[in-house]
Structure formats: structure tokens, C-alpha cells
Structure 1
Amino acid sequence: MSDNVIEVDGLEVVFTSRRGLRTRRLRAIDGVSFAVRKGETFGLVGESGGGKSTLVRTLFGINKPTAGKIEILGQDLATLSPRQRRALRNRVQLVFQDPYSSLDPRMTAHDIVAEPLWIAGGYTKARVVELLDQVGLTSDVLQRKPAEFSGGQRQRLGIARALALEPEVLVLDEPVSALDASVQAQVINLLEDLQERLDLSYLFIAHDLSVVRHLCDRVGVLHLGKLVEIGDTATVFAAPAHPYTRALLAAVPIPDPHQRARDASLLVRGELPDAANPPSGCTFRTRCPEAQPVCAATEPTLSPVAGEHTVSCLFPLERITQ
């Protein structure tokens, strides 16, 4: 039996729109394959517009795959009946990016956490209090509404709701990006503690590489709907093999004024290409400082660099330039 809780193989998601006689095809996810192992935190990083949110929506059945296969906890999503999908949703829960808009402003904290228990059965007030305690909130907040909480408290409330049905997997869609830096640290520590105590597996979607470096065991880098690099987090951060990964790392702010600034030539220039009309060959070549003429004619595929570290680049970089 596989140790993977999520397996994505050759996933494609294409959106089609028609304007007059012209059909526009936008390839939001293009041949993505990765796995999330039991008990680990797998991070997916990339710019806005790279396909992260589309991938999450596809995992939860909001978007329909055009091609490829998704298995969650050993079950192929394409073969499940509506009843089986509902049962699977109890075991895989989503924590949203915005801790305010994801909560019903008319509901109390008690009702927000209790709602999954009402739907699935097994509600008790003691269980609601237990869930609030797990995320660092007390029973004093039961009758408060979301507007009466701080951003960090609202995100804790969202996490408590996600834990209500005792899931095995949490998909965390940029769960700390809307929070202040000090509050981010508190929520990250909470997630680490919950993972250890409840034996959870995380798929962590983010654009903040400092958070990914701290929290994730492995990381995949997504560019224009394609995975361009996958590997152990420590390895990818120490020796990024793809120019795009190197550019993302170079863009991370350096808090120490005495530390030498990174080479500005590493930074990405220009805008993310149109997914409906991507560049030929390597889709990163129009912004890549290492691009060669062959990059326009040949589309790279994920190939091993060392061990499980793989990269989709014709000219992979062995180490970051200091």
C-alpha cells in the first residue's frame, strides 16, 4: 500500500471560452505530477497566476480535470460516486487564505465550529470546546462573531472548523499570508504542533518562501501551470537548479542590513506570460537570464539532478551564485 496521501499524475486543467468564432484555451495546469507523503508537509510555491489556486480547486472537485489522475488517500477521484466524495471530504479539509471572508459573519464561533458536526453527526458542545482549545482559543469566545476576533484568532477559528471531522490531510491555501509577521509565527507554530499531535499531512500552498523553508519537508515550484523543480526543501533552498527557483529565492527580503545584497541579475524581469498564449519551448525562457536559442524550440521535462531532486530545465544550475 502506498504511503502517499495525495498523488497527482499528469494533471491538466484547460479552461475554454468562446468569443465570436474564436475559441480561447487557457491551460491553467499543464502536466503536473507530485505526491504528498503521509505525515509530511509538501509545499507548492510560485507567483500569483502560476496555477496554485486552480490546483487546489481541482483537488476539491470545484474544477474538473481535463486529463490526468488524482488519488487522495488511495481513492481515484474520477471513479468516486457523489456519496463517496462526501465521505472523502471528511478526511481531507481545506484552510483558506483569508480568515475573514472564509467565515460567515452572521454565525458565532460556536456555530462555525459546530456546523461540520451538525452535518456529519456527532455534535456535542464539549467537542466544540475541545476543538477551540486545540487551536488556543477558550470557551469564552463561543458566542463571539468573526468581526470580534483579530486576524490570527479568525484563522485559528478556521483551523478548528477544519479539524472538526478529524481529517487526515489538511490543504492549507496560503493560510498565513494575510496575517502580520508576529501572528504568522504563532499560527505556523500551531500548525506544527497540530501535525505532531494529530498525525496530520499537509499540502501547503504559499508564495512566502521563508515560511515554506521553515515548515515544509519537500517543495515543488510551480510556474505557469507547470512544475519546474521538486525536491527536499533544504536541498532546493541550498542549491536551486532552476533559474526561476533561484529568482524566487533572490527576491526574498534580507532583514540583516549588514548582509551583502543578492545579485540583482538573478531577479525575474517582465510579467508572467499569458497562459492562453504561452511561449514555445520553455515557458520561462522569455524572462530567464540563462536562456539559449534551443530553449525556444525544446520543451524541458522534469529530470533528476541528484536523488529525488528533479528539475525541468535544459541548463540546470547546480548551485546559487553568491
Structure 2
Amino acid sequence: MIAIDTVEEVIRVDDLEVSFTSRRGLTGKRRLRALDGVSFGVRRGETFGLVGESGGGKSTLVRTLFGINTPTSGSVRILGHDLAQLRPAARRALRNRVQLVFQDPYSSLDPRMSAHDIIAEPLRIAGGYSRERVLELLEQVGLGPDALDRRPAEFSGGQRQRLGIARALAPRPEVLVLDEPVSALDASVQAQVINLLQDLQEQLGLSYLFIAHDLSVVRHLSDRVAVMHLGKLVEIGATEDVFTSPRHPYTRALIASAPVPDPHRRRRDTSTLVRGELPDAANPPSGCTFRTRCPLATDECATRIPELAPLGPPDHVAACLHPLPRSTKDEENP
């Protein structure tokens, strides 16, 4: 048994591939590689952000971390344990220590259950139910005792997400996987939930894997960030390094496409914006899968598959044959 306190990375994914086979027509089959050689680690106590377009593989990764999808190859280690080697009972016990907060706080909650029962359910499964613990969790997420008997439809969107967070915290996890936890909320409510997540992380020593489309939220909350494109990680680094000096053209395009709230600020170079649609994952381009939309692509990009390689600061890596030069200032500034 590995001593959990000595494990630096609470999540470790190595060369992970997840493929699916689907029928095409009456007789044909095609293979879709949803994750292709994904490797990263989430360190204890940090927030690790994961960004990318819809269809890039983020949801498949989450499902694989929780054992819903079976890896085709590669490995997933959670709190030092290889998921493939765990017996069912050990895997269930591990789930108490790694919890998921869903994107839609309404559809993830049983509309027939009261707030008390929603939080009490995981406590009873884990064998630690008490009414006092339910009240403690409600208070921890900013909901009072008057919420005990109310059902999800009686809460606002932000309150429902707080209730979902309370449920996730019930078995005293060490890691939270946050799958678009604020994307369904109004901007003002988003800020409140983000502040709550930061407070909880500080109070409870939690580690977060934070998945989102909103780059401003990722930049505010994350210590490090990874960028995913068509099942591959194309850039990983400290959040400020990635946002102020992106080295992969896809990362730069994502940042450039984000809305600029101040109309007086100079917009980024629009020549870096992504063109076209995300390629078919069942029939990806040869070489670099981003080359068909990349403004910097060359003939070499069609024949060579780029690998993540160190670029500049420690921990900053990118998978590009022609990485962008390192910038010394934030391009948001006029």
C-alpha cells in the first residue's frame, strides 16, 4: 500500500489512449481515437486547468478517470493507485476520495429528493451519516438550515451548484474533478461559486482538475493549464506562462478568440484565429492534427507528428514543429 501523504501527484495519466469502434453503413466499421497519448499529472493542492474545443476529448478523459471508459492503452493512477489493478471494492473506496462536480447543477440532482437527502445519500453509503454533518456541509457552501427540506427546483442555479458541491464534499474527498462547474451560471453567480471553490480549497487542502471553456475563469483559478486538441495535449505550463506567451498556434488562437470586455483595448492579431471546423476524430489529418487550420503549417507538418517538448520556463511544454517565439509581455495590453 502506497502512503498517500508521500504521493506528489494525486492524478497521474501516462500515454493514455481511449478508442471506440462504431459501425459505418451496413458492413463497415470505423475507429475513433478519442484520447491519443495523453500524459499529465495533477499535483497535490493545485488547480490544474484543462481547456479546448467541444469534441476535443475532455469529457472522455473525465469518464476514463472515473472508470466509465476503459483505456485502450496507457495508465491512470489516482492517489498512487493504478485503476486497472484495483479490485471493485478498492475502486469504490477510492471514489470517496475523488469526487465529481457536474456542469448542470439541475440535471445532476434528483428532483424528488430534498437537499438533506441529496447530501445524506453519499454519507450513508460511506457509513458516516449524521444530521449534524449535513448541516455542516450546507453551511460550508453558504446554504443555511432552511435549505434542508427544499428540493432542487426551489433553488436558484447558483444555489443548486452549491448543493452539488456539498454533495461532492460529503465523503471528505481529497480531489475534486470540476467539469464546467460554472458555465451554466450568470456571470455574477459564477464569481461567487469560484470564490467558494477557492475558499474550500484553502480550508480543506483540496486538489482540483478544472475543466472549462471560459479561459478567463481558467486563468483566474488555475495554477497550471493544459490545452487539448482532438484527443491530444498540445501545450502544458504554468497558467501565466501559457496565457502571456503561448507557444502552440492553437493555444494562441484560443486565447485570441476570447471576448475582450474593454472596447478600448487593442485586440490581438486576428491572423492567429482558428479557421474551419474541428476535423473528424475518426479520420484525423496526418502529422499534426491542427495543421489543416493552422496559419503557420508547412509541408513538414503533414508528415511528422509533433511531441510535447520543453520550451523556455520549467514545466512549459508544447507539441509543435514550429513553436511561436516566446513573448515578454501580455498581448492584452495596449
- Select the residue among 172, 185, 190 that pairs with 2:191: 185
- Select the residue among 320, 323, 328 that pairs with 1:316: 323
Q: Which residue of the partner structure matches residue 94 of structure 2?
A: 88
Name whichever of 66-75 and 251-260 sits farther off. 251-260
Equivalent positions of 1:218-233 (< 5 A) are 218-233=224-239
Can you list the C-alpha shifts for 1:252-280, whole angstroms capped at 9, x where unaligned?
A: 11111111122221110100000000000
1:26 match: secondary structure: strand
Q: Which residue of the partner structure matches residue 194 of structure 1?
A: 200
Q: Which residue of the partner structure matches residue 203 of structure 1?
A: 209
Can you list the C-alpha shifts for 1:129-169, whole angstroms capped at 9, x where unaligned?
A: 00000000000011111011000000000000000000000
Please give the alpha-carbon distance, in whole angstroms, between the structure 2 residues aligned to 1:42 and 1:258.
32
Please give the alpha-carbon distance, in whole angstroms, between the structure 2 residues aligned to 1:182 and 1:312.
36
2:118 match: secondary structure: helix
- Select the residue among 228, 231, 255 that pairs with 1:249: 255
- Select the residue among 92, 102, 105 that pairs with 1:99: 105
Name whichever of 20-29 and 200-209 sits farther off. 20-29
Structure 1 position 121, deviation (Å): 1.1
Identity of aligned residues (%): 75
Unpaired runs of at least 5, structure 1: none
Can you list the C-alpha shifts for 1:215-269, whole angstroms capped at 9, x where unaligned?
A: 0000000000000000000100010000000000001111111111222211101
Structure 1 position 316, deviation (Å): 0.4
- Select the residue among 9, 21, 24 that pairs with 2:14: 9
- Select the residue among 242, 245, 258 that pairs with 1:239: 245
The list of structure 1 runs, each at least 4 consecutive aligned residues, that deviate by more than 4 angstroms after superposition, is none
2:311 match: secondary structure: strand
Can you list the C-alpha shifts for 1:16-56, whole angstroms capped at 9, x where unaligned?
A: 11333311100000000000000000011000000000000
1:247 counterpart letter in structure 2? A
1:259 counterpart letter in structure 2? R
- Select the residue among 28, 41, 47 that pairs with 2:34: 28
Please give the alpha-carbon distance, in whole angstroms, between the structure 2 residues aligned to 1:17 and 1:254.
41
Please give the alpha-carbon distance, in whole angstroms, between the structure 1 residues aligned to 2:248 and 2:202.
32
Q: Which residue of the partner structure matches residue 154 of structure 1?
A: 160
What's the TM-score once normalised by structure 1's chain length?
A: 0.98
Structure 1 position 120, deviation (Å): 1.4
1:308 counterpart letter in structure 2? D
RMSD: 1.0
Structure 1 position 2, deviation (Å): 3.4
Please give the alpha-carbon distance, in whole angstroms, between the structure 1 residues aligned to 2:269 and 2:112.
50
Q: Which residue of the partner structure matches residue 295 of structure 1?
A: 301
1:119 correspondence with 2:125: yes
Unpaired runs of at least 5, structure 2: 1-5
1:313 counterpart letter in structure 2? C
